[in-house]
């Protein structure tokens, strides 16, 4: 079982990076922003649909949810014929060859701003799993114990994020990367502080929607931002770090946050997260003004 999860993780990381680089290579400007938004929206939609599919199949047998992965076979066949190859070694320019002689370390030294998008996606995934892991305990305080209703609360993140990503092209046309980062941090701050203080269960959904909207702008922003910062020959390597920081954040989330929840309680945990997001907002504001 663990071995199969490892293989799945490797495959997901490869697909995530390949899709990002393909979009970056195939499209430019506003069209790239639009398509990257569609990609973020599809990612969120999958986060809503597949748990429902797996849960429905699990009612019949615990084996059947794993059968959902068989969908990868027809998708792979379609992808094989439909996705164009964007790498053409014969078309390399002199600047591309020079860029390729650089090391990843030199890219980071030359562009320290890269640490900002990577840090943002890392923090975003820590917060995402804070909702997934700790939200069921919070809604239980309001008498909501049904797994279906708890799942509905959590899936609100995907719905809000997917809807926002769908309009990323229009959002990016009006806002800079810097502005999107700051707005996302404000949405995260407001969402988690509100969660910690809600007197009614329906307000939890409002809080989750705020966080989801922030994630819906952050995910496509990071992909486009990193793709535009680095040389074309480094897009594969540098976008792979997005996957690394994303899944590292998911893995570390309960490890980092569980001690806080144990010491302070659920409501105070979400308050600490909200205050942390406020601090990150001001740090990002200072850093972005100096760039």
Q: Give per-residue pLDDT as tens, 225-271.
A: 998 888 887 888 888 888 889 989 999 999 999 999 999 998 899 99
pLDDT, average across residues 65-89: 80
pLDDT tens digit sequence for 158-181: 888 888 998 999 999 899 999 999
Sorted by sequence, the CB contacts under 8 Å of residue 121 that are 6+ apart come out as 218, 219, 222, 242, 245, 246, 249
Query: What is the per-residue pLDDT for 93?
Result: 46
Render pLDDT for 182-200 as a digit per residue (tens, 0 to 9).
999 999 999 999 988 877 7
- Yes or no: say if 223 and 114 are a contact pair by the CB < 8 Å rule: no
Inform me whether the pLDDT recorded for 152 exceeds 60.
yes
Provide the pLDDT for residue 102: 62
Residue that the structure tokens 């430019």 belong to: 28
Distances from the Cα of 287 to the Cαs of 113, 125, 165, 222, 280, in angstroms? Answer: 9, 21, 25, 17, 10
3-state helix/strand/coil string of 253-289: HHHHHHHHHHHHCHHHHHHHHHHHHHHHHHHHHHHHH
Check whether 85 has a pLDDT greater than 80: no
Q: Which domains does the chain have, with CATH numbers?
A: 2-80+113-290 (1.20.1250.20)
**In three state form, how does the secondary structure of the chain look?**
CHHHHHHHHHHHHHHHHHHHHHHHHHCCHHHHHHHHHHHHHHHHHHHHHHHHHHHHHHHHCCCHHHHHHHHHHHHHHHHHHHCCCCCCHHHCCHHHHHHHCCCHHHHHHHCHHHHHHHHHHHHHHHHHHHHHHHHHHHHHCCCCCCHHHHHHHHHHHHHHHHHHHHCHHHHHHHCCHHHHHHHHHHHHHHHHHHHHHCCCHHHHHHHHHHHHHHHHHHHHHHHHHHHHHCCHHHHHHHHHHHHHHHHHHHHHHHHHHHHHHHHHCHHHHHHHHHHHHHHHHHHHHHHHHHC
Statement: the pTM of the whole predicted model exceeds 0.75? yes
Q: How large is the average pLDDT for residues 12-38? A: 86
Output the pLDDT for position 107.
84
- Whether the Cβ atoms of residue 187 and residue 213 lie closer than 8 Å to each other: yes
- The answer to whether 290 and 212 are in contact (CB under 8 A) is no
């Amino acid at each position: 079982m663990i071995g199969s999860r490892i293989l799945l993780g490797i495959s997901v990381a490869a697909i995530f990076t390949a899709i990002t680089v393909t979009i970056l290579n195939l499209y430019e400007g506003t069209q790239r922003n639009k398509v990257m938004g569609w990609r973020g929206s599809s990612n969120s939609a999958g986060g809503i649909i597949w748990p429902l599919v797996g849960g429905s199949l699990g009612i019949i047998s615990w084996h059947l949810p794993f059968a959902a992965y068989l969908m990868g076979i027809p998708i792979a066949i379609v992808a094989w014929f439909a996705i164009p190859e964007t790498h053409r070694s014969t078309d390399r320019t002199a600047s591309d060859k020079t860029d390729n002689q650089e090391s990843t370390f030199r890219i980071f030294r030359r562009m320290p701003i890269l640490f900002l998008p990577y840090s943002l996606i890392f923090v975003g995934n820590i917060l995402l799993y804070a909702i997934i892991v700790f939200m069921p305990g919070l809604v239980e305080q309001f008498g909501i114990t049904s797994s279906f209703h708890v799942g509905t609360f959590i899936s609100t993140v995907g719905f809000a994020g997917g809807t926002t990503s769908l309009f990323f092209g229009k959002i990016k046309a009006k806002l800079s990367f810097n502005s999107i980062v700051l707005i996302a941090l404000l949405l995260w701050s407001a969402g988690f502080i509100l969660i910690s203080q809600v007197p009614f269960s329906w307000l939890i959904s409002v809080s989750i929607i705020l966080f989801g909207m922030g994630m819906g702008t952050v995910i496509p922003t990071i992909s486009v931002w990193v793709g535009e910062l680095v040389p074309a020959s480094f897009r594969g390597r540098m976008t792979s770090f997005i996957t690394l920081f994303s899944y590292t954040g998911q893995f570390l989330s309960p490890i980092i946050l569980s001690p806080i929840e144990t010491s302070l309680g659920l409501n105070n945990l979400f308050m600490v997260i909200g205050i942390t997001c406020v601090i990150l907002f001001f740090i990002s504001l200072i850093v972005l003004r100096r760039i």
